[in-house]
Structure 1
Amino acid sequence: MRLIVLLLLMVSSLVVVAGRLVWVQGVSSGHFVALASGQRDRTVILAARRGSIVDRNGNTLAMSVDARTLVADPRLIVSPQATAQTLASMLGVPAADLAARLSNGTGFAYLARRIDPQVAASVVALGIPGIQSITEPLRVYPDGQLAAHIVGFTGTDAQGLAGLESTYDSVLSGKAGSMAMQTDPQGREIVSAKSQTSPPVAGDDVVLTIDQNIQYEAEAALAQAVQTYHANGGTIIVMRPSTGEVLGLANFPTFDLNTYSTSTVASRVDRAVQDVYEPGSASKVITAAAALESGVESPDEVMSVPDTLHLANSTFHDAEPHKVLNLTLSQILEQSSNVGTIQVAVKVGKDRLSSYLQKFGYGKATGVGLPGESAGILPPARTWSATQLPTAAIGQGVAVTPMQMMSVYSTVANGGVWVQPRIVEGERDASGTLRPAAAPLSRRVIRSETAQTLTSMLLEVVGGSTGTGAAAAIPGYQVAGKTGTAQKPIPGGAGYSGYTASFIGFAPAANPQVAVGVVLDDPTPIWGGSTAAPTFRIVMQNALQRLGIGPGPVLPMRGGAPLSPGGTPLPGPARSGDVPMAPGVAE
């Protein structure tokens, strides 16, 4: 009887074991295979090397270098708290943060990314199961703050967050790869097991139009100008008028790309394309162009210009009191007379003036290729009040970016043809082949004859006996350009406070090769001719030397004789009062 009972127990046990085997090997085999694979199989993402950003001569502005990243498999960490305490001081990461990552319940966690290889090696040497280091690219900017607003920066996951790093993220980032492998319970790779690797594809390089030397000198000159004239900030742009290539673009304040996370929001604003300002007298060249194109004025036609003009229940002034003077259109622009410019604008009419403001690019982003570009402010002519014609004529009541104003003067320099500004030359693949960017858009804005006439008038601003831009003159070269000093509107339309000073010009005047624009925010003194013009001279002189551009042929000055027939000069530069009902204070 005992043998029978024992036999029955043995048979029952075998049946249970057999049933369990059937269940494990048959019914639930998929579950256990997946469980085993989850403990053994790992897939590691292999980051692609991000492409570089280089200047027109191949100088590196942004690049990626190999760094080490520490990763962990939290499932293999025996004591997350103790491990976190051990690693915290080594990695400079709070123990609480590390403990949370080591307890996330998944098979993967970042502990520290893109760190010094020696630090990573010291952690791996501790032999903690489940912790290893992998290679991950680190984005570095060799020149720190150089071209910071152009280049931009990337985030922790190497995604472009600002500047061209953001705009060209898909070009630069390439395609990540992966490596599938098997690991033992300690997280170590099982070398004998099969692994499958899909290699990453490196990103392409982005080649810019800027010149590293011109960029450096522009930034240095701007920083010095802000300090010397106690300005809040400013912008300098250097451009090739015939091609639209931006050779330099400087903003102040600025920041170091390698430590962007510690920078202020204000320092990261790209003033050249994101900030707008009322251009003041720099915009008078458009009023003059509209008058010449429509035939309502000729350069040497004499007008009677008082120092005060009453129009639309408002009073407009020149900066300094004077008797009624006989001035030509050329002299009005040279001496920057507010009253004279408004008289010309009345002849032009609001619809025609508005049309030329639009043709020169007001109210529309230039499309230079930098993120966040503003279109500026140009109210439709149909909405203009009675005072908006005179104010728009002298560059108030409208708002532009420095890049838009550069386009205006580049259009004049280029014989009346607007060429879209551009900052990217093309994309370069791993073989070194350059894929050029699309050809820039272009359109004719004014006749070449009008552009030549305007150039000769702008020559007088710099070289004339009463011109406001004498400080922009460069020995041996003919420089054409215009000063501007405009009051800054208070946000919300509650009046004006502070000034924007500017000088925009090009050289050599007979065959313009380079245009430079300088805009300073609230400098002391306020005059563009006293602050922006001498800064322009420094930047332009360096650019001409850098590019090997000689003086070229000499254009005859309109005032080759002391004055055009019938014209009389103002007692001094007629710095324009750009705000109605207020004394004139701007050039």
Structure 2
Amino acid sequence: MGNFGIARERIRWLTGIVCFILVLFGFRLIDIQAVQAQTYAQRASNEMSRTSIMPAPRGAITDIHGFEFARSVSALNVVVDQTLVKDPDKAAQIAAPILSMSIADVKNQITGTRRWYMVARNVTPARWNALNAAFAKYNQSLPREQMSKRIFGFFAERGYIREYPSGKAVASLVGFVRQSGVGASGIESSMNSIITGTDGKYMYANGYGAQIPGSQQELITAKTGTSVRLTIDRDVQWVASQAILAAVKKSHALSGTVIVMDPKTGAILAHATAPTFDPNNTENVSLAAMRNPSVQDVYEPGSTGKVITLAAGIEEKKISPSTVFTVPYSLRVSNALFKDHEKHQTERLTTTGILAISSNTGAIQVGAKLSNNVLYDYLRKFGIGSNTGSGLAGESNGSLPEVSSWSGTTAPTVAFGQGYSVTAMQATSVFATIANNGIRVSPTVIAGTSDASGNFTPSAPREKVRAVSAETATKLRLMMESVVTANGTAPEAAIAGYRV
């Protein structure tokens, strides 16, 4: 075979090899475009698209007239696809000062294999734009051989921050929300399950580690949380908050609480405590400052508890406002010596007089006319030892020992308001019961709720309990006025032109 034959043979072999390769490519093309077309299309779609959470805003908390005490305001959350960050050291150096974070924290959050990770919450649009601009400037400065180090993978997702327009004036009542979005105290906590919205989900096109504008496709619609309308009147609340702050400061007290209640409906019109905190800035606030003392702290009612003892005595017709007692400074009962708060000679006092000077020994004598069971039952009728159901977070029941456990000194102790404990809300309810002609209406701060469309659902009517008759309540109101007379224990509480 000559050289020409050898060359022709080689051409045939090369042609055969090329044809064989083309046939293989053909089969592969058919496999890709026909057999596995859907699989590869889905894979390409997955590479080019991302799904993300669409946060839902919390419902608002308003006063009785609709003024917002708490509302959700749009903000941005910065998230990262860690697999797209090729130079975490440089990315952290750029992002940290803009996000007000340490370089170490940022690097830790952007390093790894997670496709979605939260870097910073509640970032303003200005900061997000500054971050994008800084990354773009750095990327443009890289020479061509270092293009692989360009910074991609940071995204902004819509979020919400909580805003409290009335600030400190409603802090203990409304509470605040943690950075995680969960209510931490107040109404934000007690009603968290309905105020919290339901997050949605959306899909977007991803190009080189950045969201392509206009590519969002909603998968699950976010649902706004339920709004809560309180019984609070903003104007009354503001006056109450200023008054309690001034009173605590003037008296050098550790704390104070003021509650304004409508006796007929149980609606709390104002609820303020001091000291307080700013719910818009809780970073350095102690847990103690976030407590709501009106329902979480308990104390022995003392003199205010005598009202229940006298109400029971009058209702049971054991005494009247004019019944006269011999009232000594000290009185021994069951080998225990009880005393009045100020030393005095033995006096002849009416029941009204006993209340006016808040005599312990006088109240003990009134209580002695009642059996333990009867006195206990009246305490329960006035709500002692029971949660008021006010709607406030962490409310205590107070304490009232079972009558079966009473000793010989329990009844006289209970008669003048010791030996059991109440919250400020329970104490308020006691006096509201007297003001409401003897009917106790359980207090509440919740007027109702509104869905995202604004449809309002009022709260269920409050529980009503007849504690004493209207006649007894009327007598008690007149007797209580004696406390602010010149001979009473609180003449400074008298207000000209008003019955107190």
The TM-score, its normalising length taken from structure 1, stands at 0.76
For the pair 1:99 / 2:141, whether they are aligned, the reply is no
Runs of 4+ in 1 over 6 A off after TM superposition: 18-31
* Amino acid across the alignment from 2:489: T
Taking the aligned partners of 1:32 and 1:159, their CA distance within structure 2 comes to 42
Taking the aligned partners of 1:207 and 1:285, their CA distance within structure 2 comes to 33
- State the match for 1:485 in structure 2: none
- State the match for 1:556 in structure 2: none
Taking the aligned partners of 1:401 and 1:418, their CA distance within structure 2 comes to 16
- Spell out, residue by residue over 1:443-502, the C-alpha distance to the aligned partner (whole angstroms, 9 max, x if none): 111111110111111011113x411121111101111xxxxxxxxxxxxxxxxxxxxxxx
- State the match for 1:138 in structure 2: 161
Taking the aligned partners of 2:416 and 2:112, their CA distance within structure 1 comes to 64
Taking the aligned partners of 1:166 and 1:337, their CA distance within structure 2 comes to 42
Which deviates more, 144-153 or 213-222? 213-222
- State the match for 1:41 in structure 2: 49
* Amino acid across the alignment from 2:181: A
Greater share of residues in helix? 2
* Amino acid across the alignment from 2:183: G
- State the match for 2:146 in structure 1: none
For the pair 1:476 / 2:492, whether they are aligned, the reply is no
* Amino acid across the alignment from 1:362: I
Taking the aligned partners of 1:406 and 1:363, their CA distance within structure 2 comes to 14
- Residue 104 (structure 1) shift: 3.1
The TM-score, its normalising length taken from structure 2, stands at 0.89
- Spell out, residue by residue over 1:123-162, the C-alpha distance to the aligned partner (whole angstroms, 9 max, x if none): 1233343223333222111122121111111122433222
- State the match for 1:549 in structure 2: none
In the TM superposition, what are the counterparts of 1:45-124 in structure 2 within 5 Å? 45-124=53-132
Taking the aligned partners of 1:403 and 1:322, their CA distance within structure 2 comes to 33
For the pair 1:382 / 2:404, whether they are aligned, the reply is yes
| Kept after mapping to 2: 8 A contact 1:184/1:190 | no
- Residue 269 (structure 1) shift: 1.0
Larger radius of gyration: 2
**Alpha carbons of 1:190 and 1:299: their partners in 2 closer, same or farther (altered >3 Å)?**
closer
| Kept after mapping to 1: 8 A contact 2:400/2:420 | yes
Q: CA RMSD in A?
A: 2.4
- Residue 43 (structure 1) shift: 1.5
Taking the aligned partners of 1:118 and 1:202, their CA distance within structure 2 comes to 26
| Kept after mapping to 2: 8 A contact 1:239/1:247 | yes
- State the match for 1:450 in structure 2: 472
| Kept after mapping to 1: 8 A contact 2:185/2:290 | no
Which deviates more, 242-251 or 195-204? 195-204
- Residue 4 (structure 1) shift: 7.3
- State the match for 1:233 in structure 2: 255
| Kept after mapping to 2: 8 A contact 1:182/1:195 | no
Match of 2:231 among 209, 233, 238: 209
Which deviates more, 6-15 or 100-109? 6-15
For the pair 1:301 / 2:323, whether they are aligned, the reply is yes
Match of 2:204 among 154, 169, 181: 181
Taking the aligned partners of 1:174 and 1:62, their CA distance within structure 2 comes to 14
* Amino acid across the alignment from 1:134: E
* Amino acid across the alignment from 2:206: T
| Kept after mapping to 2: 8 A contact 1:241/1:413 | yes
Match of 2:185 among 162, 169, 191: 162
| Kept after mapping to 1: 8 A contact 2:185/2:291 | no
- Spell out, residue by residue over 1:26-82, the C-alpha distance to the aligned partner (whole angstroms, 9 max, x if none): 897777555433321211222223222111222221112222332322222221221
- Residue 119 (structure 1) shift: 1.3
- Spell out, residue by residue over 1:261-319, the C-alpha distance to the aligned partner (whole angstroms, 9 max, x if none): 32011101100000000111110001101111222212212122222211111111123
Match of 1:286 among 286, 293, 308: 308
| Kept after mapping to 2: 8 A contact 1:68/1:134 | yes
- State the match for 1:357 in structure 2: 379
Taking the aligned partners of 2:407 and 2:249, their CA distance within structure 1 comes to 40
Name structure 1 gaps, 5 residues minimum: 480-587
- Residue 362 (structure 1) shift: 0.8
* Amino acid across the alignment from 1:435: T
- Residue 352 (structure 1) shift: 1.1
* Amino acid across the alignment from 1:143: S
* Amino acid across the alignment from 1:105: T
- Spell out, residue by residue over 1:332-374, the C-alpha distance to the aligned partner (whole angstroms, 9 max, x if none): 1111111111011111121111111111111111000111100
- Residue 323 (structure 1) shift: 3.3
Taking the aligned partners of 2:336 and 2:27, their CA distance within structure 1 comes to 102
- State the match for 2:272 in structure 1: 250
- State the match for 1:483 in structure 2: none
Taking the aligned partners of 1:390 and 1:190, their CA distance within structure 2 comes to 77
- Residue 175 (structure 1) shift: 2.9
SS at match of 2:369: helix
| Kept after mapping to 2: 8 A contact 1:71/1:134 | yes
For the pair 1:200 / 2:222, whether they are aligned, the reply is yes
- State the match for 2:174 in structure 1: 151
Taking the aligned partners of 1:21 and 1:98, their CA distance within structure 2 comes to 45
Taking the aligned partners of 2:398 and 2:115, their CA distance within structure 1 comes to 51
In the TM superposition, what are the counterparts of 1:18-37 in structure 2 within 5 Å? 35-37=43-45
Match of 1:398 among 420, 432, 454: 420
Taking the aligned partners of 1:449 and 1:142, their CA distance within structure 2 comes to 45
| Kept after mapping to 2: 8 A contact 1:76/1:187 | no
For the pair 1:325 / 2:347, whether they are aligned, the reply is yes
- Residue 322 (structure 1) shift: 3.2
| Kept after mapping to 1: 8 A contact 2:76/2:122 | yes
SS at match of 2:65: coil
**Alpha carbons of 1:142 and 1:383: their partners in 2 closer, same or farther (altered >3 Å)?**
same
SS at match of 1:202: coil
In the TM superposition, what are the counterparts of 1:430-445 in structure 2 within 5 Å? 430-445=452-467
Between the two proteins, the alignment pairs up a number of residues equal to: 477
- Residue 433 (structure 1) shift: 3.9
Taking the aligned partners of 1:182 and 1:105, their CA distance within structure 2 comes to 20
**Alpha carbons of 1:92 and 1:309: their partners in 2 closer, same or farther (altered >3 Å)?**
same
| Kept after mapping to 2: 8 A contact 1:291/1:348 | yes
